[in-house]
């Protein structure tokens, strides 16, 4: 398996389906590194370190002693990755496909199968995310106004902003 395909497989295991290889995540999303290495074919600690260090989206983190690993966000299974509530910047961005635009305008941004809606702090990142789904469409999120209205925001260790829902009234189409 290439480094990229191994990283994608780890994303599946650490965010969505740990049972696929017979491991369990603790309540904070941590998996035992030794057990993970035993259960993933052709995975060793050096490769795992390389994936964590080089992943451009910084999807993973080791515990301080490197005995545990977890995905930083994006889970569809209930875990508490110990996010601190923070005041967001005035505007955040959400990149998606043009095909979802009318649904988002009507319903707002929904977390769907994930624990949170993912937001970017810059247009470039949002556009890159949107391209993964088709022709990109960028929404501006009036995040500071939302925060003032009582909505909670968190920032994962890799800089992705998270919230449970963005009502349509806080959205503006970027372009």
> Cα(141)–Cα(119) distance, rounded to whole angstroms?
8
What is the model's pTM? Answer: 0.78
Identify the weakest region by mean pLDDT among 30-34, 47-51, 154-158, 165-169: 154-158
pLDDT of residue 175 exceeding 80: no
Paired strand residues for 155: 161
pLDDT of residue 12 exceeding 80: yes
pLDDT of residue 157 exceeding 90: no
pLDDT of residue 133 exceeding 90: no
pLDDT of residue 125 exceeding 80: yes
Predicted pLDDT of residue 57: 84
Residues 95-108 have pLDDT tens digits of 999 999 999 999 99
In the chain, which ranges are E strands? 31-32, 60-62, 68-71, 92-97, 109-110, 117-119, 136-141, 154-155, 161-163, 165-166, 171-173
> Cα(175)–Cα(162) distance, rounded to whole angstroms?
22
Question: Please, which pLDDT band fits residue 55 given cuts at 50, 70 and 90?
Answer: confident
Spatial contact of 58 and 158, defined as CB atoms under 8 Å apart: yes
Predicted pLDDT of residue 82: 87
Question: Please, which pLDDT band fits residue 86 given cuts at 50, 70 and 90?
Answer: very high
Question: Please, which pLDDT band fits residue 94 given cuts at 50, 70 and 90?
Answer: very high
pLDDT of residue 84 exceeding 90: no
Average pLDDT score over the chain = 94
């Amino acid at each position: 398996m290439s480094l990229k395909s191994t990283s994608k497989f780890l994303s599946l295991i650490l965010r969505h389906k740990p049972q696929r290889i017979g491991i369990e995540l603790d309540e904070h999303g941590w998996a035992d590194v030794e057990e993970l290495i035993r259960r993933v074919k052709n995975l060793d600690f050096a490769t795992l370190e390389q994936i964590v260090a080089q992943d451009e989206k910084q999807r993973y983190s080791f515990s301080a002693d490197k005995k545990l690993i977890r995905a930083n966000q994006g889970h569809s299974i209930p875990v508490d990755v110990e996010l601190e509530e923070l005041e967001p910047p005035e505007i955040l961005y959400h990149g998606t496909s043009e095909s979802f635009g009318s649904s988002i305008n009507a319903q707002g941004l929904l977390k769907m199968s994930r624990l949170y809606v993912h937001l970017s702090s810059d247009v470039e990142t949002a556009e890159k995310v949107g391209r993964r789904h088709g022709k990109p469409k960028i929404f501006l999120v009036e995040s500071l106004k939302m925060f003032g209205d009582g909505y909670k925001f968190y920032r994962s260790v890799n800089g992705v902003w998270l919230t449970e829902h963005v009502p349509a009234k806080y959205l503006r189409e970027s372009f």
